[in-house]
Amino acid sequence: MGLPRFGRPKNGVELSPNLYVANCGPAVGISHDDIASVFCKFGELKGVYAADESGTRVIVSFSEEGSAQSAFKALDGTPCPELGGRSLHIRYSVIQPTPKDEVSDMVPVSINASELSIPGLYLVHNFISAKEEEELLQAVDSRPWNSLAKRRVQHYGYEFRYDIRNVNTRHCLGELPSFVSPILERISSCPTFKSAEHIVLDQLTVNEYPPGVGLSPHIDTHSAFEDLIFSLSLSGPCIMEFRKYENGDWHTKVASSAVSEGGSPEDDSNFLRKAIYLPPRSLLLLSGEARYAWNHYIPHHKIDKVNGRVIRRASRRVSFTFRKVRTGACECEFPQYCDSQR
């Protein structure tokens, strides 16, 4: 079960045992325990929860309305010495029913790909050095970025068209730039990626994500790219979630979840969810089942929770996604997810 959702009280009813408290939280170095120790002076607490993904707004839930009222009167708008002198902005809050499509944040996040047991998923930590990371960032920052609605991209080899989720194979932009040659050589000689020994990766998409921006759930179009998809993370961390819809009709579900960022295993017993932490300088490989049958998704969060630790997204995450453009139809073993075989 995910956390309860809170909202403003309706019909002008102001009182509630729950307070929405802004200007404190893990993103500004104040833990939920710190906040609880301040509010518990006013009565029995049921808990302190993140109000949203900002890391700076919480819900303080009391057992009794009167306790919330006392805390509200004492703390609203005044600097709080126990919380770094911050002024808290407080209002009443009520629990709302959980919508069907709400994302639950309870999916555990693994550090290693082997813990996920998704066939074909690999993650190599520290695939490049900090110096190489810096050089790659400088190289892309000296080239023009294309601005999408929420993030910036660069395409090399072939342009990826987001409107048709495919590439125009007749329009080659040229070879991949020389600044990625050492990475490509290391990929083909890396023992973890045995299947990549002879592959010639010819398409590169560079994505730059500001904090709080992610990527909707998707499977890279089968007919656009061959089996192996590599993603190198630079500059900042994120988590990547994987979703597998067991029975057919994947397209409808992907489309609806892309809009709502929703769906949860509680709502759909055939919907599996797993997540992995992608630190900077790590290289992810999606191949086989991981590439063809699982949606990958970067939640639109400013902070991620990894094994109980709160990890803040950096000022940006830049990823280099290397793929090989497919020229014929896809003949994978996952026809229910395959645009070539539907």
Ligand X SMILES: O=C(O)CCC(=O)C(=O)O
* Residue placing its CB nearer to ligand X in the complex, 88 or 285: 285
* Kind of pairing between the strands at 109-110 and 271-278: parallel
| Shortest CB 296 distance to ligand X, Å | 6
Q: How far apart are the first and last CA of the chain?
A: 35
Rounded distance between C-alpha atoms, residue 242 and residue 274, angstroms: 5
| 56, 110, 207, 295: which one binds ligand X (CB under 6 A) | 207
231 binds, options Fe ion, ligand X, none, Cβ within 5 to 8 A by partner type:
ligand X
| 93, 116, 321, 326: which one binds ligand X (CB under 6 A) | 321
| Residue 166 binding ligand X, by CB under 6 A | no
319 binds, options Fe ion, ligand X, none, Cβ within 5 to 8 A by partner type:
ligand X
| Residue 220 binding Fe ion, by CB under 5 A | yes
Rounded distance between C-alpha atoms, residue 286 and residue 295, angstroms: 11
Q: Hey, what are 200's tokens?
A: 């010639």
| Shortest CB 143 distance to ligand X, Å | 17
Closest residue to Fe ion: CB criterion: 220
Residue count, binding to ligand X (CB under 6 A): 8
Interface characters, 285-314, with ligand X (x: CB under 6 A)? -----------x------------------
State the DSSP code for 86. Answer: E
Rounded distance between C-alpha atoms, residue 274 and residue 278, angstroms: 13
Q: At residue 217, what is the residue type?
A: P
| Residue 110 binding ligand X, by CB under 6 A | no
| Residue 319 binding ligand X, by CB under 6 A | yes
Q: Hey, what are 105's tokens?
A: 């944040």
93 binds, options ligand X, Fe ion, none, Cβ within 5 to 8 A by partner type:
none
Residue the block writes with tokens 């005044």: 78
Rounded distance between C-alpha atoms, residue 45 and residue 202, angstroms: 57
Rounded distance between C-alpha atoms, residue 247 and residue 261, angstroms: 20
User: What's the order of all strands across the beta sheet hosting 146-147?
Assistant: 121-124, 283-286, 229-234, 317-323, 203-209, 152-156, 146-147
| Shortest CB 323 distance to ligand X, Å | 8
Do residues 175 and 157 make contact, with C-beta atoms less than 8 angstroms apart?
yes
Q: Hey, what are 265's tokens?
A: 């295993």
Q: Hey, what are 242's tokens?
A: 């994987």
* Residue placing its CB nearer to ligand X in the complex, 62 or 297: 297
* Nearest CA-CA partner of 319 in 195, 121, 163, 133: 133
| Shortest CB 220 distance to Fe ion, Å | 4
| Shortest CB 136 distance to ligand X, Å | 14
| 215, 239, 283, 330: which one binds ligand X (CB under 6 A) | 215
| 220, 226, 227, 304: which one binds ligand X (CB under 6 A) | 220
* Residue placing its CB nearer to ligand X in the complex, 71 or 204: 204
* Residue placing its CB nearer to ligand X in the complex, 68 or 298: 298
| Residue 231 binding ligand X, by CB under 6 A | yes
Q: How many CB atoms lie within 10 A of CB 225?
A: 24
State the DSSP code for 13. Answer: -
* Residue placing its CB nearer to ligand X in the complex, 93 or 207: 207
| Residue 133 binding Fe ion, by CB under 5 A | no
Which residues of this protein are in contact with ligand X, per CB under 6 A? 205, 207, 215, 220, 231, 296, 319, 321
Which residues of this protein are in contact with Fe ion, per CB under 5 A? 220
